[in-house]
Every structure is written in structure tokens, then in C-alpha cells.
Structure 1
Amino acid sequence: MTSQVDRRQFLTRAALGGATIVGATALGSLAPEAAFGATGPSVAPGAPDPAFAEGRITSISGSTIIAAGSDGTLNRIQTTGATSAWKLTPTSVGAAQVGDGLYARGVRMPDGTLAADALWLNIVSLDAHVVTLASDKVHLDHQGSRITGHVVKGVSAAVYNGTPAVADLSLVPVGGHVHVVGAWRPDTAEIDVSTVYAKV
């Protein structure tokens, strides 16, 4: 496993253009759940994680992404040939667009820029109540808001009672509570479903 020091040195060299490029997934998981992973051991409870940035993309210039954080902070994120990206499925950094929501993990550079080893674009993770279920959609209630979850053939899956994921969402309990990971369709109340976690 790559140590934190090795990871920092690698990403610093990559951001400065001097590293041999490898897939960023060699530095950690790109699974959607990893976007919400625990902070590093040196981060005090409640303190910001210097290896993390979030926000909505306001501009993209070459390999630099600017994202307005939910706390009002403007986050400068440097991508490299080693940065991996997720947007419902693993993709390229080029899939990022102005207006997308963004979570990024990487290494903080001396100037405050985050050299990203992984980006998650438009990712959502929410607890919801299932209102209706069809073969191509699941209608959800999340804290009083209605959300339409689109089932994407070959991508969407369900995990029942902690068992391995399956493509069959027909057992998702209407009227029950689920946890959903997916990709938000910006400026809508709609998501593309990655995984539904349900108890049956």
C-alpha cells in the first residue's frame, strides 16, 4: 500500500509535471463509497480535512478546476494524468463540467491547491423512503423532498441485507427505507442510481 509520504511525493511531482503517470486508483479506491470515507488520522474531530475539497465547479481551465464549497470557500483543484474520476461510472477528468458537484481527495500543496488523486462528480449518498418502484425508476422521499432515481441498465445495482450487489432492483421495498448512492443530474431533483442498499 502506498504510504501517505509516498502519495504526497507522487502527487506533488505529478502536479508539477515530473512524475511517471500511473492510474490514481493505485493510490486508493475510486468506489463511490470512498468519497465519504474517514478523514486521515491526523485530522481532529470536526476540523477540516486538508486532503479533501468539495463544492460546485465554477470554472475549468486546463488541468485546474475551481469549485465553490458549501462553506463559501473557493477550492482550487489541480488534476494530473494520474487523477481518476467517477461520474456514475469510472471516467476521465474530461467528463467534469461547470455546474457539476465535486468531491476531491488528494494532497494539499504549499499554495493551498489540492493535487487530486480522485474526483467524484455529482455524487450523492442519501437515506430515503421508497414511494414507488418501476423497472426504470424509483421514486424516493428524502427529508420531505421527492427525488426520481433513474435505473441505468448495466450500472444500477442493489445490495440486499449486505449481500453482494445484483442488477435486480425488483426486491427494493416500496414503503421501506433505503440508502442510495448515485449521480445527481445538476439543477434537478433527479439522480442516476449507482447502488441501492436495502433490507428485505
Structure 2
Amino acid sequence: MTPKMDRRRLLSTAVLGGAGLVGATALGSLAPEAAFAAEAQPVEPGAPDPNFAEGRISKISAGTLLATGSDGVLHSIRVTDGTSIWKLYPTTFDQVAVGDGMYARGVRLPDGTLAADSIWVNIVNLHAHIAAVGRNTLHLDHKGQRIVAHVVPGLSAAVYNSTPAVSDLSLLKVGRHVQVLGAWHPDTNEISIATVYAAA
């Protein structure tokens, strides 16, 4: 049995320039569903999770992201050689841009910086109704707002009635309630679909 990995030590070493790092996905899944999963460590009810940050990126400098959270708090997120990044699919730090939104999980360092093991860029989790179906698009009604969801060939998938994901989205019909995980196109009402959850 592999001994439990000390995330704080591993990520602290990464921030300080340690070599031989294990990829951050060894610390947890990079799947989009994992961004919305409860953190394994308990947090006091009503208290913020110290190992989580979310916000819109305002500055990128020397492996550090500065992001303003939805609550107005400024977060400093350190990216290391062991950080895994998702932007509709696993990608690299150079694909992250100012103006992107992000969720990050990792460990909080003594100076308040979050050393990230996983970052999800522009991730969205929508509950909506299908208003129209187009060629490679779903038009969604989300709380009275229209969202255009783009199907990405070879990537977008559907899960019907909790069965394994398939690439066939043809069973998605107008009027159906769906949950959509995907990536937002900043400053638009458009997203790219990662996974659609629906009843067949």
C-alpha cells in the first residue's frame, strides 16, 4: 500500500523549487466534476474552505495568478510544476489568460498564498432547460437567461440516466432539464460542453 502523500509538504516543496514532483492529479481528480466536490478535510459550517479559491484572473506574473473572488476577496494562487490545469481539457499554464474565471484547490501556505494542485479555468456547472437544438449547439434557458452551448466534436459527452458517458448527444430534446459542465467563453453567453447529464 502506498503511504498517504503529504500534500502540504509536496506543494510547499514545489513552490520552493523542489524537483522530482509527482503530477498534481495524483493528489486528486482533475475531472470537471471534482471542482464542485466537497473538500475531504472538514470545514466549520459557514466558514470559507481555506484550501479553495475562486474568482476572475486580474494578473498573471511569474507562476502566480491574482484573482478577485465573487466575494471581493483577492486571491494569490501559486502554480507549480505539479499543478494540473483544466480548460475544457487538461492543458498548460500558458493557456490561462487575464479575464478567465477559475476555481483552484490546493494547500494554503503561511503567507496566505494558495499552492494549487488543481485549477479549473472558466468552468461552469449549469442546471437548465433545453430551449432549442441546433447543429452542434444547444440553446439553454438558465434562470431566464439564454445560454448557447457548443458541442465540441470528439470531446463533448452525454450521460443519460447515470449510464457511462457517450459521444451521442442526439437524445437531448427540447424541454428536457439538463445539467451541463463546461467552459465559459469569457464576457459572452456562450460555453463549450464537457458533459451533459440528462434523462433519456
TM-score scaled by length of structure 1: 0.96
Instruction: Indicate conservation of the 8 Å contact 1:14/1:20, yes or no.
Output: no
Which segment is superposed worse, 34-43 or 70-79? 34-43
Q: Percent same amino acid among aligned pairs? A: 62
Instruction: Indicate conservation of the 8 Å contact 1:135/1:170, yes or no.
Output: no
Partner of 1:116: 116
Partner of 1:70: 70
The superposition leaves residues 143-173 of structure 1 with CA deviations (integer Å, 9 ceiling, x where unpaired) of: 0000000000011010000001011101012
Partner of 1:11: 11
Q: Secondary structure at the match of 1:14?
A: helix
**1-structure distance, mates of 2:48, 2:173:** 37
Instruction: Indicate conservation of the 8 Å contact 1:2/1:27, yes or no.
Output: no
Partner of 1:51: 51
2:60 partner amino acid: I
Task: Give, in angstroms, the shift of residue 132 of structure 1.
Answer: 0.8
| 1:1-200 map, 5 Å | 3=4, 6-200=6-200
Q: Secondary structure at the match of 1:13?
A: helix
Structure 1: runs of 5 or more not aligned: none
1:78 partner amino acid: R
2:36 partner amino acid: F
Instruction: Indicate conservation of the 8 Å contact 2:10/2:21, yes or no.
Output: no
2:97 partner amino acid: Q
Structure 2: runs of 5 or more not aligned: none
The superposition leaves residues 41-73 of structure 1 with CA deviations (integer Å, 9 ceiling, x where unpaired) of: 331122100110000000000101000000000
**2-structure distance, mates of 1:33, 1:40:** 14
**2-structure distance, mates of 1:13, 1:83:** 12
Instruction: Indicate conservation of the 8 Å contact 2:51/2:106, yes or no.
Output: yes
Q: How many positions carry a matched residue from both structures?
A: 199
**2-structure distance, mates of 1:69, 1:170:** 37
Task: Give, in angstroms, the shift of residue 28 of structure 1.
Answer: 0.6
**2-structure distance, mates of 1:183, 1:3:** 32
**2-structure distance, mates of 1:66, 1:2:** 34
Instruction: Indicate conservation of the 8 Å contact 2:126/2:179, yes or no.
Output: yes
**1-structure distance, mates of 2:189, 2:101:** 14
Distance change (3 Å), C-alpha of 1:36 and 1:2: farther
Instruction: Indicate conservation of the 8 Å contact 1:40/1:49, yes or no.
Output: no
Task: Give, in angstroms, the shift of residue 39 of structure 1.
Answer: 2.3
TM-score scaled by length of structure 2: 0.96
Task: Give, in angstroms, the shift of residue 193 of structure 1.
Answer: 0.4
Runs of 4+ more than 4 Å apart: none
Instruction: Indicate conservation of the 8 Å contact 2:102/2:119, yes or no.
Output: yes
**2-structure distance, mates of 1:88, 1:111:** 31
* Cα RMSD for the two superposed structures: 1.2
